[in-house]
Amino acid sequence: MHRQELCVAIVGHIDHGKSSLLGRLLYESGALRNEQLREVKVASQRDGGVLDLSMVTDQLSEERDGRITLDSTQARLDTDKAVVVFVDTPGHQELIGNMLSGTGLAHAAILVVDAARGMEAQTYLHLSVIRLLPIRQVIVVINKMDLVHYRQSTFMELSRAISLLFKKWGMAPLNTVPLSAVEGENITSRSGRMKWYRGPSCLEALESLQEPDSLAESAACFPIQQIWNLRDYSVCLGRLESGKLRVEGEVTVLPQGRSARILSIRYHTRVQKPVAGECLGLEIRTDIPLARGQFLCDAEHGLKVQSNIKLELIWLSENPLRPGDRLTVCVGPQQSLASVMNIVLVDPVTSLRVNVNQDVGLRRYELGIVNVQSHDPLVLDPNARILPLSRVICHDGESICAFGCGKHSAAQ
Ligand SMILES: Nc1nc2c(ncn2[C@@H]2O[C@H](COP(=O)(O)OP(=O)(O)OP(=O)(O)O)[C@@H](O)[C@H]2O)c(=O)[nH]1
Ligand SMILES: [Mg+2]
């Protein structure tokens, strides 16, 4: 049976045990090579003797010496039921950029919470990242149950609080799994020390994740990367992000909203039915000159072209964002300068919204809803089915200053 690869990001507050959990999962599933295990054993001996499985992914000497994950790393687990590519991400607030670059690839996430410490600042911020991307399948893991003597009441209290938090954001975890990464309880098989728990082990929860949605079912979307406008037709190169295209099919050119006909489809050799994710050359006939940054879409595309845009952002720059500021908004291959009209500050814990203090502005690592007027109209997918047309990055001319998702104001 063909099994699709599923990419799972492991996120959560610093030191809550993300790397230890991943190392333990790989170890107990027999996915570690002998030399990998030998190397981790030797490194652990130098460091006190107890096998430290966080070193499976924390391989840099700075990571091992500082006992902290600095950058995202990947590890693969191939079981009878699933093929999972894990992305271990750093929990330190200052490393949110590295956390984002790893998490952006994921189809699902494990949110790790320390049983003894409960939810902390990055638990909330990472949940906001998951929501904005959006990652729709989330497993919550309550780790370090050994530190609370595997008490059911501690687990119940914490899992209730986490479920409430998810609910505030219109989300729900698929499972909430109590475990101990260090003592290896409830990792690949049910724990004898938490007989009160009736749910799946961590591995069982992972194996019941849904495979990624087939993008072929969404509307066709082909961003134009390169173009040659010839006398009778145009040749465009790009990647089919979603949906299907066919020779002689009618498509709409966005943002202009003009129609075009596909004369031929080329992918090394002539093909008739390209699938989502493939890089293609298209011969197109239309009555307007085509340019990089435009899109070819199904006539029934559901996408919106607008300049008045509502962005939900995590602000990353040291310089706060204030109404009246200008920034460059990037959505897939499109970018436009935009003026900030107003900013609403969102509390990642309570989900409450207040108008931002205009003198203070939106500060680093804060979450905000920012209304902007873009100078050029942008194509966005308000339903977040075509991810490159929903995710937004902003830069201030020098560096990336925000990450988030975009919605047209009318869609709110
Ligand atoms: N008692 C106990 N300690 C744990 C458990 N899991 C992890 N730890 C300890 O918690 C500390 C942090 O573990 P890591 O796995 O490095 O945590 P992390 O979430 O990957 O940390 P960052 O990547 O830096 O955010 C280490 O000292 C681990 O040994 C657990 O189940 N029980
Ligand atoms: Mg780590």
147 lines ligand 1 (CB under 6 A): yes
Q: Which residues surround ligand 2, an ion (CB under 5 A)?
A: 18-19, 69
Give pLDDT, residue 2: 53
CA–centroid distance, residue 199 to ligand 1 (Å): 23
Give pLDDT, residue 300: 75
pTM: 0.89
Mean pLDDT across the stretch 111-122?
98
Q: What percent of the chain has pLDDT over 90?
A: 63
Q: What percent of the chain has pLDDT over 70?
A: 95
Give, for ligand 1, the residue of 19, 20, 141 to mutate: max count of ligand atoms closer than 8 Å to Cβ: 20
Q: What phi-psi label fits residue 201: left (phi over 0), alpha (psi between -120 and 50 degrees) or beta?
A: beta
Give, for ligand 1, the residue of 11, 13, 15 to mutate: max count of ligand atoms closer than 8 Å to Cβ: 15
CA angle 315, 316, 320 (to 5 degrees): 65
CA–centroid distance, residue 293 to ligand 1 (Å): 44
Ligand 1, closest atom to CA 147?
1
Q: Is the pLDDT of residue 185 over 60?
A: yes
Mean pLDDT across the stretch 45-57?
82
CA–centroid distance, residue 91 to ligand 2 (Å): 7
Give pLDDT, residue 407: 74
Ligand 1, closest atom to CA 67?
16
Mean pLDDT across the stretch 102-117?
94
Helices marked H in 47-139: 61-66, 96-103, 121-132
Ligand closest to 12 (CA) is 1
Strand partners, 226: 237
Q: Is the pLDDT of residue 21 over 80?
A: yes
Ligand closest to 202 (CA) is 1
144 lines ligand 1 (CB under 6 A): yes
| 117-126, 194-203, 329-338: least confidently modelled range | 329-338
Q: What are 247-257's pLDDT values in tens digits?
A: 899 999 988 88
Mean pLDDT across the stretch 122-147?
96
159 lines ligand 1 (CB under 6 A): no
Q: Is the pLDDT of residue 47 over 90?
A: no
Mean pLDDT across the stretch 173-185?
97
Pick the CATH number of 4-207 from 3.30.70.580, 3.20.20.140, 3.40.640.10, 3.40.50.300: 3.40.50.300
Ligand closest to 23 (CA) is 1
Residue in the block written with tokens 């990647």: 239
Could you tell me whether strands 400-408 and 304-315 are parallel, antiparallel, or unpaired per DSSP bridges? Answer: antiparallel
The residue among 120 and 72 whose pLDDT is bigger is: 120
Q: Is the pLDDT of residue 46 over 80?
A: no
| 74-83, 183-192, 318-327, 367-376: least confidently modelled range | 74-83
**Cis previous bond, 212, omega within 30:** no
Residue in the block written with tokens 């599923």: 6
Task: Break the chain into its structural domains and give their ranges.
Answer: 4-207, 221-297, 304-409
Give, for ligand 1, the residue of 146, 182, 185 to mutate: max count of ligand atoms closer than 8 Å to Cβ: 182
Q: In Å, how far are 28, 377, 389 from 384, measured between CA atoms?
A: 36, 18, 7
Q: What are 342-390's pLDDT values in tens digits?
A: 999 999 999 999 999 999 999 999 999 999 999 999 988 877 778 878 8
15 lines ligand 1 (CB under 6 A): yes
Ligand closest to 16 (CA) is 1
Give pLDDT, residue 255: 87
Closest CA to 129 of 315, 304, 386, 5: 315
- Residue 1: pLDDT band (50, 70, 90) is very low
Average pLDDT of every residue of the chain:
90
At the top level of CATH, the class of 304-409 is mainly beta
103 lines ligand 1 (CB under 6 A): no
Kindly tell me the sign of the dihedral angle through the C-alpha atoms of 199, 13, 21, 209. positive
Same fold, 4-207 and 304-409: no
Q: In Å, how far are 186, 263, 365 from 318, measured between CA atoms?
A: 41, 50, 9
Give, using CA atoms, the residue closest to atom 23 of ligand 1.
Answer: 69
Q: Is the pLDDT of residue 412 over 50?
A: no
Ligand closest to 95 (CA) is 1
19 lines ligand 1 (CB under 6 A): yes
For domain 221-297, the question of CATH label 2.40.30.10 is answered with: yes
CA–centroid distance, residue 22 to ligand 2 (Å): 9
Give pLDDT, residue 401: 96
